[in-house]
Each structure stands twice: as structure tokens, then as C-alpha cells.
Structure 1
Amino acid sequence: MPDLHPLLSAFAPIWALTAVGYVVARAGLLGPQAELVLTRFVFHVAMPAALFLMISRTPLGSFANPSMLAFAAGTTVATALGLLAGRLLFRRKRGELAIGAMASGYVNSANLGIPVTMQVIGDASFVGPVVLFQILVVTPAVLTVLDSGAAGRRALLTLPLRNPVLIATALGAVASATGLRLPAELHHSADLLGAAGVPTALVALGMSLHNRPAAEGRSLRAEVGLTVAVKTLVQPLVALIMAGPVLHLPTHQLLTVVLFSALPTAQNVYTYAREYGQGTDLARDTVLWSTLVSMGTLSAIAWTLRPA
């Protein structure tokens, strides 16, 4: 069985920064609006910088391969189940349905994907195609739904011109396709801004734990439990079936696809939920509980599928 310590080391920064956010909120160091301000900083400033650099440095054709087909199948099934559960079982509204679907299938590819796969298989190259797929396909679809339902005051046709995440995505894709690069000084500045996104988002997530309602309804707990089960169990299982019996991928690729599919829900989902005020409790709790549960499921996958 693989050593659990390396996996714990990969998760430790997430828990530490979330705990910092909780302590900061509990002590009232940054005031009552701090969580909202930090989340908006991530959405409007840090995240666009990080996405632009990441996409501009990744070949756009890298996700056109059989491994990505298996990963996309798991993502599609998981998001569809999250959407159906939110609509049929929990009667969620349109924007909340988008967040629930995203929470069910949007993996924490960079923060955890890189350290986990490096520890288990010694290769994190699959993170590029996964990031491209989630940013270029999943994120625009979710943000379009969220933005189109924002109090009916925004024109859907102008969404790409107003949403900083989509603007950065489009510019990054153009830079990748044309080979354009920022001057060194601008590149370094964008890199610094982008690096602030993940820790700030985790601190904001921790602050939200202190600001959460005193009691959660049974319906929310059931929805979170179902969403976490879909994310950590169903999504990697579908990827396993596609990668193994259907596509017959080599053992190394099969393990890589299943590991990435089993990663927990990304904190980006909470950032989007907080920015649009849709499904915030569901996103927050799914990020936290899927991260905790995935420590066990990722270890089990590595033990079961890793070659002797």
C-alpha cells in the first residue's frame, strides 16, 4: 500500500490556509465584508491572471487524446447527475443548478492534481489537458448560465466582454495558438497576481466557515452528501470503465485518468458561487467534504491500480 504521508503533505496546505481564514474571521481582523472582498479579488484579478498564463503556455491540442476522452466521460456523467439531483430531488433554481452540477464534476486539478500524481506516478503532465478542458469547456458553460440569470439585467451576448474569467480564457487561447508571449516584466507581474489566487480563495473559504448559519437543514446535508459521493466515487468509476474496458488504455494512463477524476471539488466552484450569490452553502460544504473524503479514495485508487 502506498505511503500515506506524501498524500497528507499534498493536502496539508489546503487545510492550513482554510484554518487561517477561519481564525481571521473569528478574530474579526479584516471586518465583516472581508470574505466578499477577498472572493471578488480572486474572481476579478488573481484568477484571470493565473488562467491567462496557464492557457497561454499550454498547447491547445493537448487535450485531444484517448485519456481525455475517458476523463471527459466521467466529468459529463458526474455533472449530469448533479444537475438532475438538484432539479428533481432538491428543487434548485437555475443558477444553483449550475453550481451543483459544477461541484459534482469540477476537479481540483492544479492544487492537488500536480502533487498527488507526482507522488503516486511521478508524472503530472496530464494536468495541462485537464485544465484546458475545464477552463475552455466547463467553466464558460457554467458562467454563461450564472450570468444569464443574474437578475435579468445583463445581456448574454456581451458576457464574454464583461466576465474577467472568460476574457482571460479567450486571450490565453489566442496567445497559445499564436505563440505570443508577454514581455518579461508583465509576465512576472501576472505570475505574482495569479499566485495569490489559490491561497486567497482558500482563506476566503475558511472565513465562510465562521460566517455559516448556526444550523444547516437536513435537505442541504443530504444534497452535500450526494454531491460528494458523485464527485469522489461515481466520477472516477465512470472514468475507470471508459479508460479500461472501453478504451483499453495502458496501466499508467488508466491510473492517471482515474486519479484526476477522483480529485475533490476545486475551490473555484466556491469562488463562482460566492461571486454570483448562487448555491454558496452547497459549494462551500462540497469543497470541504470532498477534499476530506478524497484523501481516502485517492489512497485506495493508488493502492488498487498502481503497478507492482
Structure 2
Amino acid sequence: MPGLISAMEGFCVIGIVIGVGYVAARMRIGGPQAQHVLNRLSFFVASPCLMFDILADEKITEIFHPSIVVAFLSAMAVGVIFLILNRLYFHLKAPDATIGALNSLYLNSNNIGLPIATYILGNPALVAPILVMQQALFTPVGLTVLDVTTKGKVSLKAILKQPLHQPLLIGTVLGILVSFVNAKFGFAVVPDYIRTPISMIGDAAVPMILMAFGMSLHGTRPMQEKGDRPAIITVAVLKNVVMPIVAFLLAYFMMGFRGPVLYACVVLAALPTGQNVYNYAARYNVGLQFARDGILVSTVTSPIFIAIIAAVLS
């Protein structure tokens, strides 16, 4: 079972670095702001450099692979399922229901997706279409709904400016543009003395992401609100179980994918909820604990289901 062995080795690498971050936080190495600093450096500097460096060398056809159809439809499916279940059972208010839907469909394509794509799937560029899809589509739609349900109005200016506040999206788009220009002219348009420092900075992204995540686990006490537990558990099941199943059905029967492409579609669908959802909840001051606990539960349980996927599909 080479796929399972590769997944376990990848999780071992990821787990060790996360563990280092946890120990560092426990020993208070770096002070109380260490996690915050690592997160900001990764988000604003290292990760955009990494995405640019990866995509600048990728072919456009690989960046916009048909697998993006699977990612989009499977995400939409679980989001709709949550909204239906909320209408029938949870009866959350509209802003909280929006956070729940985002918790169900939003993939952690950066903090967890990049390491998994790098160390388990062997190609970090696989997360690029998901990143573009989420930042260019799901984020504006989600923020629009939150604007309407919390303020009673839509701030079109804020929605249109949203991509400008997403460094990962900017790095991704610039990388895609360079890839397109390289293909058109037949040579690398960005000289090595510029690409090399970008590559060096980008190489620091994944370790910083994982250590910061490990630091965030220290002192965490989830599931404190009993009333939210059924919805939180539902979100985790939708994200880590239902979404990969839907992705498999779509990839296998609708798109006809087999082998590594099918494997990548299902593994990426099993990624935990993206931490962006908590940022959106904090911005509108709705569903804060719901967002945090949903992210944490799906993040802790995601490796189990990815290991199962590796065992089955390998």
C-alpha cells in the first residue's frame, strides 16, 4: 500500500513540526506573540512567495485542471446540506447558519492543504485552483450574506476590495500570470536573482504554518457551549466524511478520473475547515465559538479520514 505508507510518512513529517510548535508554546519560547508573528509572516510574506514560486513554473493547463469542477460541486453540496439540516433541526440565525455553511465547505488550502499537497500528494500546486475558487468566489459570497444578515445592507466596496486583502490570492494570480507569459514567450521572464530570494522565503512558509498551528493547540478547550455541539459535530462530519464521499462520486462517475487525480481530489476534499472562517466570524462578531470549535474538531479528525482514504484508494 504505497499510498497509505506515503500518507503516514507525510503525516509523520507534519505531526513532528506541529509538535515542535506545541512544545515551543508550552515552554513559552518566543513569548506570547510567537504564534501571532509566525501566522502573520506566513500569511503576508512566505505563503504568497511559495504560491508564486510554485505556479510560475506550472503549465496553465495544470493550474486550471478539470478537478476544480469536483472541488466546487462537492463544496457546494455540503454547504447546501448544512443549510437544509439547519432549517430542519438546528434553527440557527442567518449569520450563524452562514458561518456553519462556510465551516462545512471551506477548505484549509493554506495551513494544512499546502503541507498535505507537498508531503502526501507530492505537488503543492494542487491547492492553487482551490485557493483561487475560495478567495474569488466563496469569500465574496459569504461576506455578502454576512453583510446583509448582520447590517441589513451590502457594502459593495468592501466586497470588491476583499481580494486585495488576500496576499495568497495575489501571489497565486501573479504566479499564474508569469506562467502564462513564460509559455507565450518560451522563456522565463523573471530572472534568477529575483526568483531565488522568492524561493528562499517561500520555503519557510510550510514550517511556519505548521509550528504556528501547533502553538494554537496549546491551552485550547473546545466544545464549551453544549447547545452548539450537534451543529459542530455535523459540520465536522460534513467536512471530513461527506465531502470526500461526494468528491469521489463526482470524480469517479462524472469526471471519469482514475489513479493519482482521483486520489488527489478525494484527499483534498478531506482537508479540514479553513481558519479564514474564524476571521470572517470575528469580523462580523457572529458565531465565534461555533467557527473556532468547528475548525478545531475538523482539523483534529481530518488526518484520520485522510489516512483511511489513502488506505482505500491506494
Gaps of 5+ in 2: 183-187
Instruction: Give the superposition deviation at 1:57.
Output: 2.3
1:169 alignment partner in structure 2: 172
Give the match for residue 265 of structure 1: 272
**CA distance 1:240–1:162, shift in 2 (3 Å):** closer
Distance 1:294 1:38, change over 3 A: closer
Partner residue, 1:121? none
- Shift of the 304–188 alpha-carbon distance from structure 1 to 2, 3 Å rule, reads same
CA distance in 1, matches of 2:292, 2:51: 22
Partner of 1:201: 209
Distance of aligned partners of 1:302 and 1:205 in 2 relative to their CA distance in 1, 3 Å threshold: closer
Please state how far the C-alpha of 1:234 moved relative to its aligned partner.
0.9
Q: Distance in 1 between matches of 2:86 and 2:172?
A: 28
CA distance in 2, matches of 1:114, 1:170: 20
Deviates more, 1:46-55 or 1:60-69: 60-69
Answer yes or no: is the 8 Å Cα contact 1:57–1:176 preserved in 2. Answer: yes
TM-score, reference length from structure 2? 0.73
1:131 aligns with 2:127: yes
* Secondary structure of residue in 2 paired with 1:58: coil
Structure 1 stretches lacking a partner, 5+ long: 118-123
* Residues matched between the structures, number: 295
Map of 1:2-151 to 2, 5 A cutoff? 4-62=4-62, 66-81=66-81, 89=90, 91=92, 94=95, 97=98, 101=102, 104-106=105-107, 108-117=112-121, 124=122, 128=125, 130-144=126-140
The percentage of aligned residue pairs carrying the same residue is 25
Q: Is the 8 A contact 2:38 2:208 kept in 1?
A: yes
In the alignment, is the contact (CA less than 8 A) between 1:48 and 1:164 conserved in 2?
yes
State the TM-score, normalizing by the size of structure 1. Answer: 0.75
Which of 219, 231, 239 pairs up with 2:247? 239
Contact 2:57 2:179 in 1 (8 A): yes
Pairwise CA distance, 1:86: 7.5
Letter matched to residue 179 of structure 2: S
The whole-number CA distance in structure 1 between the counterparts of 2:103 and 2:222 is: 26
Residue pairs, 1:172-187, within 5 angstroms:
172-179=175-182, 181-187=189-195
Question: CA RMSD, aligned part only?
Answer: 3.8
Residues of 2 paired with 1:25 and 1:167: CA distance?
31
2:225 counterpart of 1:217: yes
